[in-house]
Amino acid sequence: MLFDLDNTLLNRDEAVDRLFFKLLKLCYGDVDHTIKNEMRQQFKVYDGKYFGQRDKTDVVASFFEEFPPQNGMPKQAIQDFWNHHFPQCFAVHQDTITIIHRIKQQVKVGIITNGSVERQKAKIAYTNLDRCFDMVIISEEVGWSKPDKRIFEMALKRLDVNPEDTLFVGDDLEKDIDGCQQANIKGVWFNPSMRKNDTAIQPFAEIHSLESLVSYVT
């Protein structure tokens, strides 16, 4: 069983909130509660706009343009701030660890994630997920990104398993589900917020909690 990382095993939205409050404390003084909520929402808008880019300078620089800080941060320091602080904003739920260990008793488990090696490895190490998985593949490290089927085929080869015996669990219909199914792996759409599927992509299964995965291996 293979897993996506962000917004599947780890809640990225919660981490972005924590990063915002770190930035607020570092660069702004006392902020009115109403303005603070507006700032938080706009920070998340900019994060979404530049999601998938390795360089996160534009996220914070755009935010600073809209909300000028009391204590600015030079552009060359923004990337270092993001690389250092963002991985520490992630937390893994104990239920997730328990579920992974239960699954691992029955099958091999791995992670396939897009993103930078530095940040993704730091997230995985900070949350101790590195102790739970047989294999981790990071797109920047191997040169292919989801939905490219080659990154999924690499995982199959590393774990020495067949595609028809493998499930991939992810929250992104295009990158995760369509990508893995191009490699003949069954895609399980992790959809805790119960979003409507407005695409032509048909996952093998849809789940609303990771607990549901246990039934596939027991």
* Under 8 Å between Cβ of 95 and 211: yes
Which tokens hold the place of 168? 């991939």
* Model pLDDT, residue 156: 98
* Under 8 Å between Cβ of 190 and 11: no
pTM for this entry: 0.92
- Give the model's confidence band at 29: pLDDT under 50 very low, under 70 low, under 90 confident, else very high: confident
* Model pLDDT, residue 218: 80
Could you give the strand order of the β-sheet that contains 135-138, starting from the edge strand earlier in sequence?
135-138, 110-113, 2-3, 167-170, 186-190, 205-207
Three-state SS at 158:
helix
* Under 8 Å between Cβ of 164 and 184: yes
Across 26-60, b (16+ Cβ under 10 Å) vs e yields ebbeeeeeeeeeebeeebbebbeebeeeeebbebb
* Under 8 Å between Cβ of 207 and 213: yes
**Can you tell me the distance from the alpha carbon of 60 to that of 20, in angstroms, rounded to the nearest whole number?**
10
pLDDT by residue (tens digit) across 156-189? 999 999 999 999 999 999 999 999 999 999 999 9
Non-local (6+) Cβ contacts of 27 within 8 A are 64, 69, 70, 71, 72, 73
Q: What is the mean pLDDT of the chain?
A: 96
Strand partners, 216: none
Query: For the residues 3-30, what does the mean pLDDT come to?
Result: 96
Q: How many CA atoms lie within 13 A of 207 on its CB side?
A: 19
Non-local (6+) Cβ contacts of 191 within 8 A are 171, 206, 207, 208
Query: For the residues 30-53, what does the mean pLDDT come to?
Result: 94
* Model pLDDT, residue 66: 97
- Give the model's confidence band at 52: pLDDT under 50 very low, under 70 low, under 90 confident, else very high: confident
Query: For the residues 56-84, what does the mean pLDDT come to?
Result: 95
* Under 8 Å between Cβ of 117 and 139: no
Q: Burial of 166 by CB count in 10 Å (0-12 exposed, 13-18 middle, 19+ buried)? A: buried
